[in-house]
Every structure is written in C-alpha cells, then in structure tokens.
C-alpha cells in the first residue's frame, strides 16, 4: 500500500460522507465518518466554490465517497504520516497562557489553523523533529492527550511556547467496580486527577454512561474527589467522583422513569450544537444550541430515554422547529440566572437607533435604550470617545449601547486583517476615553464590534456591495477576539473597574442576506471561533407594514416548497419576517445562555416607514414581551426602531409611528421580570 496518502478527520463532530463533491444534504449518504478516523485519499481535493473543497476518500470499511476537505479557513482533513506509537515520543507542555493553535501545516497562516486550541498546561507528545519556518517560527508536530494530531508553535525568536517535561510512569490500576455518570451535563474526562482545563482530554462522558472504576479515588486539595475509570471503548482517564455533598458518579444506574420531562435542553455532551432530525436517525433539518428551552412532546417517555445512546426524543424549539434529537445529547432543562439592570441600562425594552428625544418615552412613564454608532478607524493614538453623550443618557435612566465600526460604506465595518491589532487598540482607546474617572461605572459599558459582517456592503473595499475583501466568519471572529481582549484589558487597567464591568458584543449579522452563503451557517461558524462574548446582537424586520407580519411563520421561498434542511445556502429555513430573531435564539450555545440579547435594528424593510399608527410597533414590543415572559428563555433586553434620522428609514418625521411607539411604551414592558 505504499504511496497511498492517509488523512485523518480533524473535526470533533465528524464529517458527512457525500456521493458528490458538493455541500448539499441531497448528496449525504447517511454515513458520518467520526473524529480521528483515518481514511485513504483518492486523487486530489476538488474545489467546489470559493468556500468549499472536497476530497474523495476510501473509509476503513472500503466505502468510497467525498468528505469536506476545506471550508473557508478551516481544514477538516489533515495528512497522517507514519508516526511512533502514542506512548512514544518526547513530552512537551504548552507554556503559553492563551493556549496554542493547532495547525494542519507548519506555517503561521490563518488558513492552516485547524480550529482547535490546545490549552495552557496541556502535555503533548512530540512526533518527529521540529520544523523551522522561513519567517522565524519553529513548529512541532504533536499529539494531544485526546489523540488529536497537528502542528504547534514550539518557539518564535526567544519566546518558547513548548517546554520539555519529564514523563511520570504509573502502574495500571486494578478494576474496583462499575459506576454510572449521574450528572446531566455529562462529565469531562481528564488526563490527571485535577479540576484544571489543562487536564481536560476533550472527551465528555454522557449522563447515564456506565464506566469501570480503576483503583481507589484520589482526593484533590480543592475538595474534589476523582476516580480513574475505563470506558467501554477502552479509553482511560479521570472523572469527578464528588465535590462536597454532590455526587457525580453513582453506584446505581440513574432512573428518571418516574419523572416526566416537559422541558429539555442540549447537553454539553453534544458540543455547541445538537443536530435535529426529521425522524429518528433521519436527515438533519436544524441545529439547536444549549440556550434554547425545548418543549418535549412526550414528557413521560423522555424520562426513560434521556441521556441514553441510541434513543431519540421529539422536541419543539422556541422558533417552532420540530424534530428528533439523540437522547444522549439532551438533559432536563435547568433555569438560567437573570440579572438586574445597572447604571447605563434600562429595565424597559423600548428604544430607537440613534440619538432621539427622550421625552417620547419619559412622557409615557418609561425609559429605554439608545444606540450610538461610531467610525473609529485605526488611529489609536488619536481616538476620541463620546463621554458626555453617554453619561447624559445614562444619568437620565436610559440604557446606552455603542457600536464601534472601522468605517462605513466602502471603508468596511472592520478593516483588512493586517489592521486588526490596530483596530483593537483603537477600540480600547475609544472606550477608555469614554469613561469618566469620577464615575467609572456610569455612562456606556456595552460595546458592539462591527455590523452585518456577512453583508458585502460592509466588506472593506466594496463599491455599493460589489468587490472588496470578503469578511469570513473566521476572520471576523479573529478581529472580534482581539477587540474583546483589548477592551477587557482597558477595564482591567482603569481604576475602579474590572473586566466584568464591560459587555463586549459581536456585531449583528444580516438575517436575510445569503450572498456570502447561508447566514445561519455564518452565525454558527462565527460563534465557534469566538473565544468569549458578553452579549448577542440581532437584527429582525418585517417585509411590509401589516402588524400581523410580526408573528408570521412564513419562510423564505415557502411557496416553492424547497428543502428545509439546515445549513443549505438558501434561506428556506429562515422566517421571512420578525420571527427571524427566534431562529438565532435557537442557535445560541449553552455556554452563553445567560448573555443579554439586544435587537439593535427592526423596521418594515421598505424605505420610508408607513406613517400610520397601525399597531405594528405595539405588536412588535408585545412579541418581545411575550418572549421574555417565559422564565426559561434567554432575555431580550431591547428592540430598537431603525432609525431616528439621517436616511430613508428615519422615523423622526413619522408622527403616527411615534404615537404607536409611545402607546407601546405606556404598556410598561420590561425585560427584568
């Protein structure tokens, strides 16, 4: 078999085997090739479009088909060379507090980034000799404790990122009994009996799984008890046995048969999202994040299945998507935490994009929100701020949101990649100069980075939406991560403040624009690459002025009955009107379920609002209030009419729309229930 190129699946969720080299579900064979599977390459990768390329392969079972080789900057199949056994090789520890990017090739480009970050403190096994790159980097091919293989930066100049460690040897422990995972989130398998992220192997053992105990439990200084275990597939590691009075591994199999489960949610075992299928084991029709409360259609039956591999539970999402999710990826819903309004926030949900007359709301007995947008460029030394404006509004009881753009129009909402660092520094400088040292926790603390990044009209260098440098989800996430860190450092360094005092939010995507591909896919790819965020910004509109469109369930292209599978490039999964916000609420991962949501633009799409007190505004705010009235749902803090003035969408001169707005405010809707 000499000369056959081996490739390894380098995507935690596995890859779909396709009959043809194209990204449609119609070509999905129903076979999924799991993470770390080694396949044989047949020929060279085939380019589908500017985003996708596919590789024909032969699986270990002899089946032939096509796997996704690359999507944008993400590489899903990595070359597998002849390697020493996993136990052989020099041991190296990651010595960089942000962790190291694992790369498909020994090069510093974004395109080589596999999407995996190896955390600080992780001990990896070196494979082969270091590789010196012409730009001064030294890369080392390595295997992580979870078995992932790729290239890590070993050093650059005088900075060393991987340090050698002495390997400790342990005798295998004897079996001591059977245990069951008794924690709905599942348990993280660890390489060592310690609670640090660095010890996490990347494997989460689901609720209800049976494991074999090996040896005696080990006590950690922080109060944890860990148990070494062996899984059914032979893998070994450490699971949390208990912490204080909470027991995570039980000697008896968990039993929920007497507890009907009416509301469920996606478990961390699924990763960021779980697949929803049209029938048990059928085609994928939707994705669901852990933030969404899922209505269980058979609550009694769910109690006998939840957490169990091979079982399916039928659910309905808040966006009215109905289907089946693997029971091992679900857990009973647990309430999230809800905060109260602080200075610079309003407990009411009303507001308008741009500075407007605050008396509109105050005369109705309410306050609300305002969004200011700024083009700040990359001149961090000359960056200004808007301190007086922010404090004026906050001191009057209003919520203040600032959107920081690189520029407008052909300048782009974010700059070219080589300017990301300077843009991040400019964001931090603008923020710092907007804070009053005598009242640092007043004014504005909510910062949105960029706007509708998936819309070609926001690309740097575009001309009326044509040309320019496309903003991919991965490149935007890179830009946002840098701005996020820079702003957090500014808050850390400012007297009287700390990083949690700021809320840094990714820009809202265009919910109806598919020029750059399916915007639901764009949204999830962006979230996958974002390291941390403090809030979610959304846009939602109606295609028309009728109040009934606010709660319309019409889908894009519904009259043609196209496939509803997600994530096709079409928008056939997306609501045509205001309910578009609900589809994105479905897709928010569980780790951000407590983050505030801001609908920062809403209108009737057509230029020039219909100047009528039709009830459209009242209906829109009633819908947001209805959403917030369910205590299980993630809070929507505001919905802002787009916009007060400056272009065709302005409402300043629409007295009947403003009357509708005031009458809505008289109802006193608050997110703070």
Please spell the DSSP secondary structure of 464-524, one letter per residue.
TTBSS----HHHHHHHHHHHHHHHHHHHHHSTT--GGG-EEEEPPP-TT--TTS-HHHHHH
Q: Is this structure's pTM higher than 0.85?
A: no
C-alpha angle 583-589-593 in degrees, rounded to nearest 5: 95
Residue 48 or residue 632, greater confidence: 632
Query: What is the rounded distance in angstroms from the CA atom of residue 277 to the CA atom of residue 565?
Result: 9
Closest of 580, 528, 587, 536 to residue 554, by C-alpha: 580
pLDDT value at residue 566: 40
Reported as a single tens digit per residue, the pLDDT across 272-316 is 999 999 999 888 899 999 999 999 999 989 988 887 888 999 999
Reported as a single tens digit per residue, the pLDDT across 407-451 is 999 999 999 999 999 999 999 999 999 999 999 999 999 999 999
DSSP 427: H
Q: Chain centroid to CA 401: how far?
A: 21
Query: What is the rounded distance in angstroms from the CA atom of residue 91 to the CA atom of residue 164?
Result: 6
The answer to which of 52-56, 321-325, 374-378 has the lowest mean pLDDT is 52-56
Query: What is the rounded distance in angstroms from the CA atom of residue 429 to the CA atom of residue 434?
Result: 9
pLDDT value at residue 517: 79
Reported as a single tens digit per residue, the pLDDT across 444-485 is 999 999 999 999 999 999 999 999 999 999 999 999 999 999
């Amino acid at each position: 078999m000499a000369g056959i190129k081996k490739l390894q699946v380098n995507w935690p969720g596995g890859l779909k085997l396709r009959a043809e080299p194209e990204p449609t579900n119609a070509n999905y064979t129903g076979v999924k090739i799991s993470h770390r599977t080694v396949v044989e390459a047949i020929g060279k990768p085939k380019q589908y479009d500017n985003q996708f390329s596919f590789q024909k392969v032969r699986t270990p079972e002899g089946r032939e088909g096509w796997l996704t080789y690359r999507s944008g900057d993400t590489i899903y199949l990595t070359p597998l060379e002849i390697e020493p056994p996993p136990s052989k090789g020099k041991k190296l520890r990651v010595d960089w507090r942000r962790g190291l990017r694992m790369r498909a090739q020994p090069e510093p480009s974004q395109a080589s980034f596999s999407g995996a970050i190896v955390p600080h403190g992780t001990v990896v096994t070196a494979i082969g000799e270091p590789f010196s790159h012409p730009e001064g980097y030294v890369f080392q091919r390595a295997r992580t404790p979870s078995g992932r293989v790729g290239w890590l930066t070993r050093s650059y100049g005088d900075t060393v990122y991987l340090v050698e460690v002495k390997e400790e040897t342990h005798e295998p422990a004897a079996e001591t009994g059977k245990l069951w995972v008794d924690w709905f989130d599942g348990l993280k398998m660890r390489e060592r009996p310690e609670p640090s992220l660095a010890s996490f192997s990347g494997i989460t053992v689901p609720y209800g799984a049976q494991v074999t105990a090996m040896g005696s439990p080990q006590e950690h200084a922080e109060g944890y008890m860990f148990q070494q275990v062996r899984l059914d597939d032979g893998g070994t590691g450490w699971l949390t046995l208990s912490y204080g009075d909470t027991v995570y591994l039980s000697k008896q199999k968990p039993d929920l048969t007497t507890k009907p489960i009416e509301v469920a949610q996606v478990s961390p075992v699924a990763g960021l999202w779980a697949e929803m299928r049209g029938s048990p084991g059928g085609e994928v029709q939707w994705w669901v994040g852990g933030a969404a409360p899922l209505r269980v259609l058979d609550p009694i039956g769910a109690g006998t299945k939840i957490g169990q591999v091979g079982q399916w539970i039928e659910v309905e999402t808040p966006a009215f998507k109905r289907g089946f999710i693997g029971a091992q990826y679900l857990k009973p819903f647990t309430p999230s935490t809800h905060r109260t309004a602080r200075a610079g926030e309003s407990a009411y949900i009303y507001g308008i994009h741009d500075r407007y007359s605050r008396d509109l709301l105050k005369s109705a007995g309410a306050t609300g929100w305002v969004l200011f947008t700024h083009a700040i460029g990359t001149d961090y030394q000359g960056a200004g701020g808007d301190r007086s404006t922010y404090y004026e509004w906050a001191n009057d009881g209003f919520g203040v949101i600032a959107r920081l753009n690189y520029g407008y129009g052909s300048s782009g909402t974010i700059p070219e990649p080589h300017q990301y660092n300077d843009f991040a520094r400019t964001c931090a400088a603008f923020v710092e100069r907007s804070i009053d040292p005598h009242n640092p926790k007043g004014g504005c603390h909510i910062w949105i980075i960029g706007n509708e990044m998936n819309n070609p009209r926001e690309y740097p260098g575009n001309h009326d939406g044509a040309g320019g440098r496309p903003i991919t989800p991965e490149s935007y996430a890179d830009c946002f991560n840098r701005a996020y860190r820079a702003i957090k450092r500014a808050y850390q360094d400012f007297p009287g403040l700390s990083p949690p005092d700021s809320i840094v939010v990714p820009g809202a995507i265009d919910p109806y624009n598919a020029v750059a591909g399916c915007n639901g896919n764009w949204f999830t790819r962006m979230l996958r690459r974002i390291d941390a965020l403090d809030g979610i910004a959304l846009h939602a509109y109606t295609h028309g002025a009728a109040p009934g469109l606010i709660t319309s369930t019409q889908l894009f292209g519904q009259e043609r009955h196209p496939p509803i599978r997600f994530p096709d490039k079409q928008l056939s999964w997306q609501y045509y009107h205001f309910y578009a916000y609900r589809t994105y609420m479905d897709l928010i991962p569980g780790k951000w379920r407590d983050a505030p949501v801001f609908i920062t633009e809403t209108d009737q799409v057509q230029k020039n609002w219909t100047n009528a007190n039709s009830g459209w505004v009242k209906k829109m705010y009633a819908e947001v209030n209805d959403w917030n009235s369910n205590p299980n749902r993630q809070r929507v803090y505001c919905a802002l009419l787009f916009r007060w003035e400056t272009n065709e969408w302005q409402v300043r001169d629409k007295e009947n729309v403003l009357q509708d707005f005031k009458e809505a405010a008289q109802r006193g809707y608050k997110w703070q229930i």
